[in-house]
Amino acid sequence: MAVVFKIEHQIQHCDAAQRLALRQQITRPHWDALDAWLQLERQRVPDGSAIANALDCSLCRWEA
């Protein structure tokens, strides 16, 4: 998600409220796409595999 880090670098000069608004507007679609991809990939890998465990870990912590 290099694009997210690029966006964060570009908005670092903004105050907290502006950063939050910009994150919701610009960055949120990228995170939503990543979440959808993680969900799809999880369906494709067998239970108990290392990749499944890594995906499960990410998905369980997604809300945080």
φ, ψ of residue 16 in degrees (nearest 5): -60, -40
pLDDT at site 62:
87
Query: Number of structural domains, the chain?
Result: 1
pLDDT at site 63:
83
Q: What tens digit of pLDDT does each residue of 13-63 get? A: 999 999 999 999 999 999 999 999 999 999 999 999 999 999 999 999 988
Domain with 7, as residue range(s), is 2-60
pLDDT at site 31:
92
Residue/partner pairs of 60-63 with CB below 8 Å, 24 or more apart: 62/35, 62/38
DSSP calls for 17-63 = HHHHHHIIIIIHHHHHHHHHHHHHHHHHSPTTSHHHHHHHHHHHTTT
pLDDT at residue 64 is higher than 80: no
Q: Is the pTM of this model over 0.95?
A: no
